[in-house]
A and B are shown apart, each in its own frame.
Chain A
C-alpha cells in the first residue's frame, strides 16, 4: 500500500536579475521525479550536492510547492492545498532536519521545543501536554528530569537530534522525512540514532523517507533506494539489487568513491572509477543525458537523447540508454552485465513509452 507518492514533480527556481526582477534563467532543482513510498518502508533518496534530494524531500512534506507534478499523501492530492487545508495533514507527516544545531531554536528550552507542535495545533490541556512531552523524551531515551530545561547549546549533537526526533513525533505522524539525520554526527552516535529510528519505526509503525549522501548508511537502513543526479532519479531499486547490480554509471562511480573500512567492501566495488569534472550547476543542465559530460561509458547519442527510466531488473530501473533496446542495450561494461530486459518476476510491466516509470512498489 503506497502511503506517499510523488508524480512527475518538477521544481524550478527562477533566477532573476535587475530591479524589475527579470527572469533570466532557472535552477532546475527537481526535474520530473516520480516516486512511490510504501507504508512501513524506509525509502532512501541518495545524491550529492545539487542532486535535488533535499528539495524533493521538502516538496513531499509541502514545505515547498512544486512547479509541476503532484504529491499524493494517503490517497489525497496535497499539491495545491492551502495552508489551512494542509494543517491537519501536516500532523501526519513530519521532517527531521540535517543539522541539529540549527534546527532547534537556540532561545528555547527543550521542553518548549518538543511541546511546540502540540501548541501550534492546539492539542491538549497544558497538563496533558506536559505529560506528552515527558513521554516523548523518554521514548527518545532522554531522561526528562535532566533535559527538560536545557538549552540546545547545552546538548551534544546526538542529544539534539533526539530532541528533534521527539519534536517530530509529538503529533504522532505516520510519515517522517529524515534529511541527512546523522551526517553531522560522529559515527558511534550515528549508530545509536539509527538504532533509535529503527526501534521507533517498529513501535510506532512509521514510514521513512531518508535523504542521504552516504550509500554505506542507506545500505543498512533502507528497503529501497533512489539515486538522484541533477534533479532526476537516475537509478531506483530495492537495496540488495542496487548494491549487487548497480546499473547506472553514476551509481557505480559513487560506489567506487566511498572510502571503505574493510577488504570485503573493497571487493564488492568494481573497478575504481574517478569521475572527471565537476558537478554542473542545476541552472545549466547539460543537454541530453545530464550526466553525459562526466560519464565514462558514454555513447555518441548521449548528448542528444534524454533517457527514460528503463527497467533493468525486478523493480529496478536506470535512466541510461545503455539499457535501451533502441541502442542495442549493451549494458555497462564490466561487472554489471545486466540480464535481458523483460517482464519482471514480480510482474511489473515496462513503462509505457514517453513517461517515467513508477517507483518502487
Chain B
C-alpha cells in the first residue's frame, strides 16, 4: 500500500521536474521557435500522405504539360521539370530527411558512444588504439569520406546513410571520451568502487548517465548537419537518386533551370535551411536547459 502511494510520488516528482525543464526551456523564444520548426517537420513527415496536396507526385510521376510552373494557387510552390508539385515533394522529403538523420545518428551513436566509453574508462592500450583510429577518421572531412564510401558502393540512399554514419561516429567517440575522462575522477565513481561495483556497472550506470546531456545536445544539432551532408551528397549524385524527393536531389534537378524557374531549386534549398536552423535552435535551447541543471547542481542550490 505504502509502495503504491510512493510510486505515485515518483510520478508526481517526475512530472514536476519536466514542468520545470519546460519552464526553463520556454525562457528562450528562439528555442521554442526551433522546437516548433522541428515539430512541424516531424508532423509533416508523419502525415505526409494526408497533408501533401499531390501525394502521388512524390514518386515517379510525369506531367510535362505542367512542367516548371511558377507558384500558383494550384501548386503553392510551383512544379519541377517533370511537372511534379514541389510542395508535396518537399513534404515527403521531410520524411526522408528525418529518417535519414535518425538512422545515421543511431548508427553513429551506437558505434561511437560505446567506443568512447570503453576508451575513456578502461584506457590503456585498448583505449589508445581506439582513439588513434578515431583520430584518423576525424582527420578526413565527412563529405570526402562519405563520397569515397558511396563511390565504392552503389550510390543510393541506403548507402549514403551508411557512408555518413561511417564519417560521423568518431565525433561521438571523442566527445564521450573526454566526458568519461573527467567523470572518472568524480567522487561518486570512487564511492561506487568502494561499494564493490564492477567496472561495467560503473561505466554504464554511473558514468554514462552523466555524460548524456552533451550527447543529447550534439544529436539534436547533428540532425541538421546530417541532413545537410546528405543533401550535399545527393546533390552531387551520390546519395538519393531521382525520382526520390530528397531535398538535395531536388536541388540538383532544379539547378539547371536557375534563374528562370528559380522555384525548382530554391524551395528545397530553403527547406534544408529551415530544417538545419530549427535543429540548431532546438539544440541550443536544450543545451541551455542542461547547463543550468549542471550549474545548479554544482552550486548546491
Contact = CB atoms under 8 A, between A and B. Distances in A.
CB atoms of A and B under 8 A apart anywhere in the complex? yes
Interface of A: 61, 63, 83, 86-87, 90-91, 94-95, 97-99, 101-108, 116-117, 120-121, 130, 145, 148-153, 156-157, 164, 167, 171
Contacts of A90: 194-196
B216 to A, nearest CB: 13
Contact of A120 (B3, B188, B196): B196
Contact of A148 (B9, B297, B300): B9
A105 B194 contact: no
Nearest to B201: A120
Contact of B188 (A61, A102, A153, A157): A102
12 contacts: A63-B194, A97-B191, A101-B300, A102-B187, A102-B188, A103-B191, A106-B294, A148-B9, A148-B10, A150-B13, A157-B300, A167-B195
Nearest to B12: A149
Smallest CB-CB A-B distances: 4 pairs: A153-B297, A90-B196, A107-B209, A102-B187
A130 B297 contact: no
Given A63-B193, A98-B187, 11 more contacts: A63-B190, A91-B196, A95-B191, A97-B190, A99-B187, A101-B300, A102-B188, A120-B197, A149-B10, A153-B297, A167-B195
B260 interface: no
Contacts of B294: 106
Contacts of A107: 209-210, 212
B301 interface: yes
B191 A153 contact: no
Contacts of A150: 13
Contacts, number: 83
B296 A117 contact: no
Interface string B166-199: 0000000000000000000011101111111110
B196 A116 contact: no
Contacts of A145: 6, 9
A9 B15 CA distance: 52
B187 A103 contact: yes
Kindly state the interface size class of chain B when it binds its partner: 20 to 34
A106 B191 CA distance: 13
A234 B151 CA distance: 72
B6 A148 contact: yes
Contacts of B188: 102-106
Given A95-B191, A101-B298, A153-B297, A121 B196 contact: yes
Contacts of B9: 145, 148-149
B206 interface: yes
**Most A-side CB within 10 Å, residue of B9, B196, B297:** B196
Interface string B227-248: 0000000000000000000000
A152 B297 contact: yes
B249 to A, nearest CB: 42
A152 B298 CA distance: 10
Contact of B196 (A86, A153, A157): A86
A102 B299 CA distance: 11
Contact of A130 (B3, B195, B196): B3
A103 B198 CA distance: 17
A46 to B, nearest CB: 21
Nearest to B199: A83
A148 B14 CA distance: 12
A86 B197 CA distance: 11
A82 B128 CA distance: 25
Contacts of B301: 153
A87 B209 CA distance: 25
Contact of B198 (A83, A98, A102, A171): A83
Contacts of B212: 107
B43 to A, nearest CB: 31
Interface string B5-22: 010011001000000000
Nearest to A104: B188
B186 A102 contact: yes
A105 to B, nearest CB: 4
Contacts of B293: 153
B300 A153 contact: yes
Contacts of B198: 83, 120
A90 B193 CA distance: 10
A108 B192 CA distance: 12
A120 B296 contact: no
A293 B56 CA distance: 89
